[in-house]
Amino acid sequence: MLNHKYAVSPADGPVVVTGASGYIGAWIVRDCVEQGYAVRACVRDASNPAKIDHLLKLNSAGLRGSVVLHEADLFRPGSYDEAFAGAAAVIHSGATVGFNRETPQEVYDGCFKENAHVIESVRRSGSVKRFVFTSSFAAVGHPRDPGYVFTEKDWCGDNVEAYKGRWSEEQIPLDRDIAYAMAKANTEKLVYAEAEADGGFEALAILPLHVIGPLMSSNHDQSWSWQNHIKRMMQGKPYKGGRDGRMLWNCVDVRDVARAHRLCIETTVGSNGSRYILAASDRNGELFTWQLQALLSSIFPFVSQVGGEEMHNEKPVKATYDAPRAYCLLARQELGIETADIETTVRDMVDSYYQLGLIDPQDAG
């Protein structure tokens, strides 16, 4: 049966995006404005041009909708009240991601504990029909044999014995990965339960894997981000993540991630508790680092040396652990999303680096 009661359209009123200045948040704002929504974009500091100029520019881009800024902070309970009042939907993408100065405990608090008052603000709005939470594949992934294909039925914390004692609340202050995964999973469970109890709104979640694609602002080139790692590879530098640079990149386009969020407020198929993995659409989007290097070299043949993992005679020195495998299937089936091919995503991302002047063409060597 179709679920029309909670489905939102631009005629229902404004849509709020938290974390609006960020890499994913800014693309969510853009997608909603393209579709004719009046967007209330929540940022922590509305006077910082690096965080807002790319959002305000959308108002003069000839798009159907509009953007206004609201200041709010996850660590200030009640600060979302004004933005949420009278809104039809909230897309909650803001989070203390934790790669800068935050401790694992602060990551946990900013990604979980502080969400309780965000839900309070949703309730107080009296108008919000859909709440979409940007969770993460971290809320799904857990130790499994190589090649295991994760789906939305999986939760981090499953197969707990394989964590070898690392999966416990005591680990939160000690381990950023555990803090982040637990926070995302606990928030999902919280928001589904709160929505169920309230009855006035539904909560759905998007669970992205390695998000890449074009940057809307120089500020999206954060040193810990996947996009920044690929920039460094384009500059001939080794990839510092994974195991000595060896990793399975399970890539999804930031524009598809954004569109999926908007489709969650509009869906008549998904309902409270629906969660969607946004990962590669098929095997083409799953690349070991050496395969990503080869793809970058083929798209940008003028770059003499693309970095990545250690190679010998054009072959990787060591094999990569084959995980995480997961596909963007349910989102395609239920939300009807069409996804970009990996070549387009990678090309557009690197082109945006050139356009923003963040990669010097001289780096091509």
Q: For binding to ligand NAP (CB under 6 A), which residues are involved?
A: 19, 21-25, 43-44, 51, 73-75, 93-97, 110, 134, 136, 208, 210-211, 220, 222, 226
Pairwise CA distance, residues 97 & 101, whole Å = 10
CA distances from 267 to 42, 234, 306, 363 (A): 23, 38, 41, 45
Read off φ and ψ for residue 203, nearest 5 degrees: -120, 135
Minimum distance from CB of 144 to ligand NAP (Å)? 19
Minimum distance from CB of 122 to ligand NAP (Å)? 15
Minimum distance from CB of 233 to ligand NAP (Å)? 16
Residue among 230 and 359 whose Cβ is closer to ligand NAP: 230
What is the SS3 assignment for 315? strand
Pairwise CA distance, residues 192 & 203, whole Å = 5
Beta bridge mates, 270: none
Residue among 129 and 220 whose Cβ is closer to ligand NAP: 220
Pairwise CA distance, residues 61 & 79, whole Å = 29
In this structure, are residues 41 and 29 in contact, taking their beta carbons and an 8 Å threshold?
A: yes
Minimum distance from CB of 163 to ligand NAP (Å)? 20
Minimum distance from CB of 96 to ligand NAP (Å)? 4
What is the SS3 assignment for 41? strand
Minimum distance from CB of 141 to ligand NAP (Å)? 11
Minimum distance from CB of 133 to ligand NAP (Å)? 8
Residue among 43 and 88 whose Cβ is closer to ligand NAP: 43
Residue among 44 and 123 whose Cβ is closer to ligand NAP: 44
Calculated CA dihedral for residues 254, 255, 260, 261, nearest 10 degrees: 80
In this structure, are residues 185 and 132 in contact, taking their beta carbons and an 8 Å threshold?
A: no
Minimum distance from CB of 135 to ligand NAP (Å)? 7
User: Residue 30: CB partners within 8 Å, gap ≥ 6?
Assistant: 58, 63, 216, 258
DSSP-assigned states of every residue in 205-228: EEEESEEES--SSGGG--TTSHHH
Residue among 224 and 354 whose Cβ is closer to ligand NAP: 224
Residue at shortest CB range from ligand NAP: 22
Q: At what angle do helices 176-198 and 115-125 cross, to 10 degrees?
A: 20
